[in-house]
Chains A and B, each alone.
Chain A
Amino acid sequence: MKKVAVIGIGQVPVREHWDKSLRELAAEALLNALQDANRDEIDGLYVGNMLSGTLSGQEHLGALIADYAGLSGVEAVKVEAACASGAAAFRQGVIAVAGGLKKCVAVVGVEKLTEFSGRYTASALATAADSDFEASVGLTFVGLNALVMQRFMFENNVSKIDFGNFPLLAHRNGSHNPNAMFRRPITLEQYRKAKVIADPINLLDSSPIADGAAAVIIVPLEDIENSDKRAAEVLACETGTDYIALHDRPELLKLKGVEISAKKAFRTANLQPKDISFFELHDAFSIMTALSLEASGFMSATEALNRVKDGYFEIRGKLPISTMGGLKGRGHPVGATGVYQIVEAVTQLRAEAPEKIQVKNPLYAMTQNIGGTGATVVTTILKNIRLS
């Protein structure tokens, strides 16, 4: 197997892009990434997307995006794994290059969620769950996470307000990221008063519905010229799955898919949690932040709820998380999110993040993209070539 590196990154700001279509968002991010990589040809395109068929009436994104980016003729395919579609597409790109079948591939994550009003989008997002036995009895995507949070609060005797520090941190970091959807910090008082969506989850626990696209260019590490200090090596990219329906999981509060994927990633990279310089985790809901820190092997979920109060996860803390705002602050264009995480991790490793949110001398970055309520999980570990 060949070693693999990310040599180019591109993104469009996460917004409600009323004036841009799915193909425009995707092509823009892809062209940005190609320019950043200083390449104009690729031999493979992997598109991460969840809902183009449902919300834009458009499938066949591989050919469409290749076409509109001026790359028609290239092998191109869409990869779908609910909210983990972006990282799942990245994983396919990594496999293709590591296996020696491809010399230079592009991965684009794209999602256009604002074509319809919120309630249609809510129905579409619920297709990540078990349609016949969860969604069709009246459960939503927020509702699934609420069932987990309610049980967690009951078993661990913690109160709702304890979770508020995670969205506060995400917004604080996101306020410095020009590509983030939310550019303003929030207060604990605002969190306390936020509108309840699915009790106990309120609006400020939830990442926003948004449009976005992000792209990366992947090549064999051996093909990088020594002078290219902006590349990041992909040490590991590993996927795990879990029962799709919450009611089938033997332990509701253990994210088995996260555990499998993170353990594999640490083993492949030959690293331990303590080696990680910062962690772009999947904070779609506050409860997921706490549970994924636990299942990834960093600390127990209750410890995470305590440590967030002491600055442990801040940019200058021991383990910075959601450094560019995370899903909560940057926004969560579902199928694009996993690729945004990689783009942001590479930005940090290059020391090109805005000054206030630049992690100091990061060596190892970890990203984790979760589909559904943990049914597909992709964990990636990247290494700073500049410092090594």
Chain B
Amino acid sequence: MDIPRYWRLKNQRYRLEGAVCQNCGHKSFPPRMVCPQCKSKDLKSVRFNGKGIVYSYTILYQTSERYEEYVPYIVALIDLEDGPRITAQLTDIDLNQVKIGMPVEMVIRKYFEEGETGPIVYGYKFRPVFSRQDFSEPTIK
């Protein structure tokens, strides 16, 4: 694929920019021209904060040629805290750590390389959010 196609998606891939309907408040990612809920065409661009929880996931062991060198990896449906559901890879996580309901946050990571001389494509992935208790700090009493 060509560079314009990746460039065109920069506001989604790097900024998680979607749309919010000015009539009913429905949120979309990627942005849409017509609100799927109320059919209004009055939509404004909005940037989501990148925090969410895992709604479903799969671990891919066989994939397309472009992602072949990265298997096994996890793709999840993520419910954004302030937005809609989106599809993204999980990163910085062991395969056996993933669970439905786990909190995750957006980071920018490499997607794939388009051959030896082609562009390297980057975009959003999500990593687990750890709370302080997860680090088993010594408690002093």
Contact = CB atoms under 8 A, between A and B. Distances in A.
B56 A122 contact: no
B100 A248 contact: no
A119 B63 contact: yes
Given A147-B76, A197-B60, A248-B28, 6 more contacts: A122-B62, A133-B30, A133-B87, A143-B58, A154-B100, A198-B62
A123 B65 contact: yes
B58 A119 contact: no
B89 A119 contact: no
Contacts of A140: 60, 62-64
A196 B61 contact: yes
B9 interface: yes
A132 B67 contact: no
16 contacts: A119-B62, A135-B64, A138-B70, A138-B73, A138-B89, A139-B87, A147-B76, A154-B100, A197-B60, A199-B58, A199-B59, A199-B60, A199-B61, A246-B77, A246-B87, A247-B87
Contact of A118 (B61, B62, B111): B62
Interface string A165-202: 00000000000000000000000000000011111110
Contact of A126 (B64, B76, B85, B112): B64
- Nearest 5 interchain pairs by C-beta: A146-B58, A123-B64, A151-B56, A199-B59, A247-B85
Nearest to B78: A247
Contact of A150 (B65, B84, B100): B100
Contacts of A147: 56-58, 75-77, 87
B66 interface: yes
Interface string B103-123: 000000001100000000101
Q: Interface SS of chain A: helix, strand, loop or mixed?
A: helix
Given A138-B75, A147-B77, A246-B77, A198 B64 contact: no
Contacts of B68: 119
Interface residues of B, number: 36
B122 to A, nearest CB: 11
Interface in A36-94: none
A199 B63 CA distance: 12
B36 interface: yes
Interface in B29-73: 29-30, 36, 55-68, 70, 73
B86 interface: yes
Interface of B: 9, 12, 28-30, 36, 55-68, 70, 73, 75-77, 84-89, 100, 111-112, 121, 123
A122 B58 contact: no
Contacts of A199: 58-61
Contact of A245 (B64, B87, B111): B87
B57 A243 contact: no
A197 B64 contact: no
B57 A150 contact: yes
Contacts of B85: 247-248
B77 A252 contact: yes
Given A150-B100, A252-B56, A137 B63 contact: no
Given A132-B30, A135-B64, A138-B75, A198 B86 contact: no
Nearest to B68: A119
Contacts of B36: 243, 248
Interface in A132-159: 132-140, 142-143, 146-148, 150-151, 154
Contacts of A134: 87
A120 B67 contact: no
B67 A198 contact: no
